[in-house]
Structure 1
Amino acid sequence: MKRRDFITAGGIAVASALFAPHLFATPKGKPLKILALVFDDYETLDLHGPVEMLGHMSHVQILLVGAKSIIRSYQGPKVVTDISMEQVTPCDLLIVPGGIGTRTLVEDSELLSWLQAQEKVSKKVFSICTGSALLAKAGILDGVNATTNKMAYQWVTSLSQRVHWQPSARWVDEGKFLTSSGVSAGTDAALFYVRQLRGEEEARRIERLTEYHWNDDSTNDPYAVEV
């Protein structure tokens, strides 16, 4: 339940007493369609951290897409998909999370073909953690500056020499492509996207609303690797 819907057990609304009203201001803007890929053994925070931040913007529709109706995360909880991978769906933002499941999916030709087709109808593509491995293997990041999970840096970067891998970056924005480092970095990058799309005030509103300490500096990468 979102905080804006919070009520007491007795049914008396107390949200206004607990939270400053301006934290719930919703800027007007073009409806945003966000599509998020899910697959077995995806990393939970890779997906749900960014979705938490992006879902607090107004006029946003977030849909999950996968190869089957029920998808199990690496940590165990399952999600239900909204859209089948039998089709591509035009969207403003395509989210590609990472996780241990990417280790086998980089050899899944059907998934890679879907990513190639879906990228063409997505205004922006946002990978978190080893989600960039899938994009790299599909050839989508050829010639692009990108980053990935630093704990899996050697493996991911070995998949494609055509990507300009950045060993020190919390996230990298390359116009159409936004790639972030490991797991929690996706939440930082999601707030960057909010700022890019809706402005600093909106990003800070969501940061306060979620009581999240945002690392807003893409060059501040505490897990950078030496190459």
Structure 2
Amino acid sequence: MKRKQLGIVIFDDVEVLDFCGPFEVFSVTRLDENRRFEDTSPFDVHLIAQSPEPVTTTGGMKVIPGCTFEQAPPLDILVVPGGMGTRQEMHNESLLAFVRDAAASVETLASVCTGALVLGNAGLLDGLSATTHWRSLDWMQSLFPNVTVDKQSHVVNHGHIITSAGISAGIDMALQIVAMQFGEDVARAAARHMEYPYPESNERRINLSP
């Protein structure tokens, strides 16, 4: 089996569940649930950072990247998580260049939470609809007037570019990618293994009314 090469960018002050949620989905996916303990995931997941030094996440968890931007293999899928660190990283030209280069070749470029601000500053969301954490929806609209900010959807899926709402929404986004790549049955089996409810609806999970 030729595994899909999947990268998840990490950086200081990245939100833990933003990257760990999708990592879990992709790592537990199996094409044959009956061979869960014999087979491996069809996704080869790489944690990618600008430098090889440990990344300190929101909350203080330290994570060692698997490779740097320069060392990353050719990717099929790239995920950009969010967190407070995106306030700085959305202006990091090295990260923006890496994401732009990846966008030209990957099958799917996805963001979780305020990772969408990185995609927006890279110029990759112009003319599209997109979403982000509920606290940043209005900010996103002011920053990127050429983007239609979707305040109702949990995940906004354009196929090549996918954005998702805050934090836990990355799990649902990752399940959508699994379904796109290998079918809904495989995605449902991954969710069941995680004891996570498969998303039957794409409505945003919280009420945005005052």
TM-score grouping bracket, smaller chain normalisation: 0.7 to 0.9
Deviations 1:2-44 (A, max 9, x none): xxxxxxxxxxxxxxxxxxxxxxxxxxx6411101100000000
CA distance in 2, matches of 1:91, 1:151: 31
Aligned match of 1:4: none
Q: When the two structures are aligned, how many residues end up with a matched partner?
A: 197
CA deviations over 1:141-161 (Å, ceiling 9, x no partner): 111221111122122222211
Task: Decide whether the 8 Å contact of 1:88 with 1:117 is kept in 2.
Answer: no
Q: 1:114 Cα shift? A: 2.1
Residues 113 and 164, structure 2, Cα contact 8 Å, conserved in 1: yes
Which residues of 2 match residues 172-187 of structure 1 at below 5 A?
172-187=156-171
Quick one: distance in 1 between partners of 2:200 and 2:80? Answer: 21
- 1:23 aligns with none
> Could you tell me which residue of structure 2 aligns to residue 86 of structure 1?
70
Matches within 5 A, 1:98-109: 98-109=82-93
Amino acid at match of 2:205: P
Q: CA RMSD in A?
A: 1.7
Partner of 1:36: 8
| Aligned position for 2:61 | 77
Query: Could you say which residue in structure 1 is the equivalent of 2:38?
Result: none
Check conservation: 1:192, 1:216, Cα contact below 8 A: no
> Quick one: distance in 1 between partners of 2:72 and 2:121?
19
Alpha-carbon separation, structure 1, partners of 2:187 and 2:88: 35
Which has the higher Rg, Structure 1 or Structure 2? 1
Gaps of 5+ in 1: 1-28
Identify the structure with bigger relative contact order (alpha carbons < 8 Å, sequence gap 6+).
2
Does the C-alpha gap of structure 1 residues 31 and 87 become closer, same or farther in structure 2, counting only changes over 3 Å?
closer
Identical columns (%):
33
Distance 1:159 1:216 in 2: 32
Whether 2:28 is the aligned partner of 1:56: answer yes
Match in the other structure for 1:126? 110
Q: What amino acid sits opposite 1:118 in the alignment?
A: A
Question: C-alpha distance in 1, partners of 2:101/2:145?
Answer: 22
Listed as ranges, the matches of 1:1-227 within 5 Å are: 30-57=2-29, 58-69=41-52, 70-86=54-70, 89-218=73-202, 220-223=203-206, 225=208
Aligned-residue offset at 1:64: 1.1
Deviation at 1:128, TM superposition (A): 0.3
Taking the aligned partners of 2:72 and 2:66, their CA distance within structure 1 comes to 12
SS in structure 2 opposite 1:55?
Answer: helix
Contact 2:81 2:112 in 1 (8 A): yes
